Structure 1
Amino acid sequence: MSEKPAKPQVRNEQRCDQILTAATTCFRQYGFHKASMSIIAKEASMSVGHIYHYFENKESIITAISEKDQAKHNEMFAKFIAAEDPLESMLDHLDEGMNDCTNREQTTLMLEVWAEASRNISLHQILSKFDEEIRDQLTEIIAKSIAANHLPSKSKEELKTKANMMMAMFEGIMLRSHMNPEMNPHLLIGELRTLIKALILT
């Protein structure tokens, strides 16, 4: 028996994923600026017009890539927030965060996109929106962690500062993984665990 043809919505999702995968490869290989829509189309084995049917421009492609990444963060953060002690839940999943920060393909893409965002106002606004969402969720996780450990509450500004510091630590690991690819991420987890506990509980 022959397989039924994919439904239009499924086909659209598959096409979008195909384009996003191709764009990710091209952004890493050529850089955001040099990865033209024609290059992305060739990598995706599609026509340029077909890609424009799904995405208006490269910024909209980056938005879609960021949305997928954001959805992954949202799912994990929801688990932390729902836990009896969000801090312990977060520390239990620290190896996953370390894997993301030291994944060569993923971090190469992020560094390239960040570099382009320093010159591209539209792209900077897109990334700033997602950055703010992550920061707000981390702020909530930190506040609930402090409450779960029966510590004095912090001001909103203090909580945001702690969230910014935590994000800076993970972003710094991304950079270090490129500058020093020989570093041992498993050893870093122990040090990072100590730093995060000190950051949240003091």
Structure 2
Amino acid sequence: MNASPLRRPDPANGVPDERASKVQARRDQVLTAAVECARTAGFHAASMAQIAKAAGLSVGQIYRYFENKEEIIAALVAREAASTREALSRIDRSPGPLLDTITAHLPEEIDRCLEPGRTALRLEILAEAARNPAVAETVREADARETALSAQLMARLRRPEWSDEAFQARLEMVGLMFDGLQTLAVRRPEVDGQALTGRLEAMIGLLFAQD
């Protein structure tokens, strides 16, 4: 009699999905703890033991989900990148002229840049990237992907007479404005985001106006 074939889990019974959901929940638990540690002590000072304690896990447990601190930071960068991709996708899917759509989304994006917790985390990641080559590579790769997506979207506003350099310079200026908002959130936490909307709208309009 032939041996019975190895029985594989049936995806329909939900077991694999349930296991994956539990793993993701545990990873999210670790990431939340890492963010807490970064905000209080900075990533450079936060150890895996401190992150494990903040997550309510043992150090051994935390290593089941992340190999090291750099991998935790990479997961946080990926999560932020996913949020950026979704924001760009919403703009891309919206009907009507692109500049009008960008203007409509500006208040939301300004609020994201001025949100204290998000700003603190991004600045901590950048600070760690300045010290840690592995984190720097992760940040640069994510930035390159985000820049490519932005260029693909904003190409709809490109003028035929603009060189690649001129178009890229305009993209960089838009990026610098939003990066500047994050440092402004630290320097002047009382800043009125609504008051900035009109200024940014005008500046973006000028950048992409015909020369």
* Residue of structure 1 equivalent to 2:77: 66
The residue identity in structure 2 corresponding to 1:200 is: F
Inter-partner Cα distance in structure 2 for 1:167 and 1:187: 19
The answer to whether residue 206 in structure 2 is matched with residue 198 in structure 1 is yes
Inter-partner Cα distance in structure 2 for 1:50 and 1:100: 33
TM-score, normalised via structure 2 length: 0.86
The residue identity in structure 1 corresponding to 2:57 is: M
* Residue of structure 2 equivalent to 1:57: 68
Q: How does 1:10-159 map to 2 (within 5 A)?
A: 10-83=21-94, 84-146=96-158, 151-152=159-160, 154-159=162-167
Inter-partner Cα distance in structure 1 for 2:116 and 2:110: 12
Inter-partner Cα distance in structure 1 for 2:185 and 2:66: 32
- Which of 151, 175, 193 pairs up with 1:167? 175
Inter-partner Cα distance in structure 2 for 1:96 and 1:197: 18
The residue identity in structure 2 corresponding to 1:145 is: L
String of CA shifts for 1:32-52, please: whole Å, max 9, x gaps.
Answer: 111111110011001111111
String of CA shifts for 1:139-179, please: whole Å, max 9, x gaps.
Answer: 12221133xxxx43533222221111111101111001111
SS of residue paired to 2:64: helix
The residue identity in structure 2 corresponding to 1:106 is: R
Tell which deviates more after alignment, 36-45 or 151-160.
Answer: 151-160
State whether residues 80 and 87 of structure 1, in contact with CA within 8 Å, keep that contact through their aligned partners in structure 2: no
- What is the count of residue pairs matched by the alignment? 195
SS of residue paired to 2:45: coil
SS of residue paired to 1:55: coil
State whether residues 39 and 121 of structure 2, in contact with CA within 8 Å, keep that contact through their aligned partners in structure 1: yes
**Percent identity over paired residues:** 34
Aligned alpha-carbon RMSD (Å): 1.8
Offset of residue 116 of structure 1: 1.6
Inter-partner Cα distance in structure 2 for 1:27 and 1:176: 20
The residue identity in structure 2 corresponding to 1:63 is: A
Inter-partner Cα distance in structure 2 for 1:140 and 1:158: 15
Inter-partner Cα distance in structure 1 for 2:84 and 2:173: 17
The residue identity in structure 2 corresponding to 1:188 is: L
Offset of residue 118 of structure 1: 1.1
Inter-partner Cα distance in structure 2 for 1:133 and 1:85: 24
Inter-partner Cα distance in structure 2 for 1:58 and 1:85: 43
SS of residue paired to 1:172: helix
State whether residues 107 and 174 of structure 1, in contact with CA within 8 Å, keep that contact through their aligned partners in structure 2: yes
